[in-house]
Amino acid sequence: MDPTPDPAPRPARFELLRAWWRGAPGVALRWAFAVLPFLWLGQRVSWRTLGARVLEVGLAPLAHCAFWILAAFAVAALRWGRLLRAYARPGAERPPFLTLYRHVLVAQYYALLPSGMVGDVVRGARVASCLPSLATSYLVLLLDRLAALLGLALLASAAALALPPVGSLGGLLRVALPAIAAPVLALFVLPTFLRRNGLEARAAALPWVGRHLQRLPAAEGYGTLVEATACSVGAQLCAIASVAALLGPIAQRGPWATVTDALRVVPAIILATFIPLTPAALGQRELFFVTFYGMVGVGAPEALAGSLLHFGTLVLVSLLGLPVLLWERHNTTP
């Protein structure tokens, strides 16, 4: 008689948590997180005043905001292309800049509208053919994200040193720099160092971490990280300019105050919303806009209006990915 088969192993705790977060309870919790900040802000902001601030904004600031968002996408595509070249399969045809920019627009549409990480999944799959494996493509995207954070932390640290401090934000942003630099060095510099110095076999023999180090691909050189970080600083400057283009006219502050406010505040907002806890970071982003811009003297109605208008402009710009996607499908239809 055959023995009774063992019961199926239970899913790991992380898998259970992920299934719960993606299921109905997690969706309901994320929407609750999105609504609660608006309820809190509704007690402190007059909706009539908010509407007046929104209506006061003309088309020119919105157009400037859209321009800087598209510019940020362009510089991000340059950064992604540089990382792809560093990890590309020998002899593989690497996509040109315009193709990468098209991929970024389509990925932004998927990321912002249907769901969060789908955009990176789409991006990784679209360029996997020029890399050794799909896993390498997603590693490049992880490095792309980390390089973006590293550029942001460098920019925020420089602003905190050069401009008057904003409460505790300056200290927090300076702490963020080494915290972000550590995984960048581990994932990029360490595998490259081991490969260039013939230390891969010794590293693979290390307990616990050896087998993971063996799987990490090495880049073609250290200069890639410098170039990617420089592109990240440029992309983050464009993102900061897109916010300043709206908050300046809304808050009616001078050009110098508008720029310095954005340099001191927007990096903290980006870091605080980098991991969205709500759908499209709704509510989460508005809460930090009002809190952090309040530290530099911008009123809650103005900060909230700027946040909502910036998000609306980002949605409209992201919609450009839909006609690009439809054009691609039309051209590939037999």
pTM: 0.82
The pLDDT confidence band at residue 239, using thresholds 50, 70 and 90, is very high
Element (H or E) spanning 193, and its range? helix 190-196
Number of Cβ within a 10 Å radius of residue 88: 19
Helix axes 59-87, 97-112, angle to 10 degrees: 120
The pLDDT confidence band at residue 10, using thresholds 50, 70 and 90, is very low
Q: Is the pLDDT of residue 23 over 70?
A: no
In this structure, are residues 209 and 202 in contact, taking their beta carbons and an 8 Å threshold?
no
Give pLDDT, residue 1.
44
Q: Rounded to whole angstroms, how far apart are CA atoms 225 and 183? A: 13
Does 3 map to a domain?
Answer: no
Nearest partner of 245 among 289, 309, 299, judged by Cα: 309
Query: Could you tell me if residue 204 is left (phi over 0), alpha (psi between -120 and 50 degrees) or otherwise beta?
Result: alpha
Q: Is the pLDDT of residue 4 over 50?
A: no
Domain range for 282 is 63-319
Does 110 map to a domain?
Answer: yes
The pLDDT confidence band at residue 112, using thresholds 50, 70 and 90, is confident
DSSP string, 34-80: HHHHHHHHHTTS-HHHHHHHHHH--HHHHHHHHHHHHHHHHHHHHHH
| HSE-up (13 A, CA, CB side) for residue 319 | 7
Average pLDDT, the chain: 80
- Average pLDDT score over residue span 271-292: 83
More reliable by pLDDT, 280 or 145: 145
Does 10 map to a domain?
Answer: no
Does 232 map to a domain?
Answer: yes
Q: Is the pLDDT of residue 118 over 80?
A: no
- Average pLDDT score over residue span 242-249: 91
- Average pLDDT score over residue span 202-209: 73
Q: 256: which residues sit within 8 A by CB, 6+ positions away?
A: none
- Average pLDDT score over residue span 222-231: 87
Give pLDDT, residue 254.
80
E strands in 85-185 = none
Q: 145: which residues sit within 8 A by CB, 6+ positions away?
A: 120
Does 137 map to a domain?
Answer: yes
In this structure, are residues 147 and 156 in contact, taking their beta carbons and an 8 Å threshold?
no
Does 333 map to a domain?
Answer: no
Fill in the DSSP letter of residue 188: I
Does 154 map to a domain?
Answer: yes
The pLDDT confidence band at residue 173, using thresholds 50, 70 and 90, is low
Surface-to-core class of residue 328, CB atoms within 10 Å of its CB (0-12 exposed, 13-18 middle, 19+ buried): middle
Give pLDDT, residue 94.
83
Give pLDDT, residue 91.
78
Does 180 map to a domain?
Answer: yes
Q: 310: which residues sit within 8 A by CB, 6+ positions away?
A: 65, 242, 243, 246
The SS3 assignment for 90 reads coil
Q: 60: which residues sit within 8 A by CB, 6+ positions away?
A: none
- Average pLDDT score over residue span 215-233: 83
Domain count for the chain, please give it.
1
Nearest partner of 282 among 264, 249, 304, judged by Cα: 304
Surface-to-core class of residue 243, CB atoms within 10 Å of its CB (0-12 exposed, 13-18 middle, 19+ buried): buried
E strands in 149-291 = none
Give pLDDT, residue 100.
94
H helix intervals, the chain? 13-22, 24-42, 47-56, 59-87, 97-112, 118-126, 134-162, 169-184, 190-196, 200-204, 210-215, 223-251, 255-272, 284-294, 300-318, 321-332
In this structure, are residues 120 and 141 in contact, taking their beta carbons and an 8 Å threshold?
yes
Q: Is the pLDDT of residue 131 over 60?
A: yes
